[in-house]
Amino acid sequence: MFFDAGETLVHPHPSFLELFQSILEREGHPIGLDTLIGGLSAVSDRFAMMAKTGQIWSNSAETSRTFWLGVYADLLERVGVRDTDGLADVLYRAFTDLDNYRLFPDVRPALDRLRSAGLRLGLVSNFEQWLDLLLERLGVTAYFETRVISGAEGIEKPDARIFRLALDRTGMEASESVYVGDNPVFDTQPAEAIGMLGVLLDRRDRYPQHAGIRITTLDELPEAIGLQG
């Protein structure tokens, strides 16, 4: 069983929007959460554009910084905040600070149960190389015998090659593997396209009409895949 990382296992604390809001307030730009939610499509739009054009954003510190500065600049513009005094840089530093990340509360119990049931666990994530440091900091590295991180491999989801690379490293067939992630386009759809079982983890109820397996917490995962006991 393979997992995505961001918004599946780990998250900015207390959340992306709340951390973003607190930084803006600290920098003299108080913005309501509803306003920020209205501009949040800037993030998904940037990811979609990179995937559509085949550009890799996570494979070096320079490309990652350029990508995220663009994301933050777009989001600031959409919520009516001028990017003055290096505000996008302030945001970038905050969102690359390991201290600003946590595991979701359901992660460790779910991983323990799955591992106790004899499942082999792995990770496939669009993330910078520092994800390994974050997993170590959070104390979950040992759960994952295989970790395929786009920043280290130079391949990003939804490219099928990153899923096949993970399968090759474990010696598993797609038909006997599960992939759990929070985004249909980047996670479940490409995994299912090569024969894996996709499980959408929809923590924020964004995809209620999802046609495949959909859960809202990892507590539901064992039953969703037919794990007994």
Could you give the C-alpha distances from 4 to 28, 106, 186, 194, in angstroms and in order?
35, 15, 10, 16
CA separation for the pair 204, 61 (Å, rounded)? 30
CA separation for the pair 76, 42 (Å, rounded)? 9
Residue 114, SS3 per DSSP: helix
pLDDT for 228 equals: 73
Could you give the C-alpha distances from 206 to 18, 72, 85, 127, 214, in angstroms and in order?
18, 22, 34, 22, 11
Angle subtended by helix axes 87-95 and 16-26, to nearest 10:
140
Residue 226, SS3 per DSSP: coil
Mean pLDDT, 10 residues at a time, the chain of 229 residues: 98 97 95 94 93 95 96 94 90 97 98 96 98 98 98 97 98 97 98 98 96 97 88
- Nearest alpha carbon to residue 2 among 129, 170, 138: 170
Q: Is 17 exposed, middle or buried (0-12, 13-18, 19+ CB in 10 A)?
A: middle
Helix (H) or strand (E) holding 10: strand 10-12
Q: pLDDT by residue (tens digit) across 90-108?
A: 999 999 999 999 999 999 9
CA separation for the pair 47, 12 (Å, rounded)? 18
Angle subtended by helix axes 87-95 and 61-78, to nearest 10:
120
Q: In the block, which residue shows the tokens 């995962």?
A: 221
Identify the structural domains of the chain with CATH numbers, from first to last.
2-10+101-224 (3.40.50.1000), 14-100 (1.10.150)
* Angle, vertex CA 188, rays to CA 44 and CA 159, nearest 5: 70
31 Cβ neighbours under 8 A, 6+ residues apart: 21, 24, 25, 79, 81
pLDDT for 191 equals: 98
In DSSP notation, 57-72 reads SSSSHHHHHHHHHHHH
pLDDT for 229 equals: 60
CA separation for the pair 197, 201 (Å, rounded)? 13
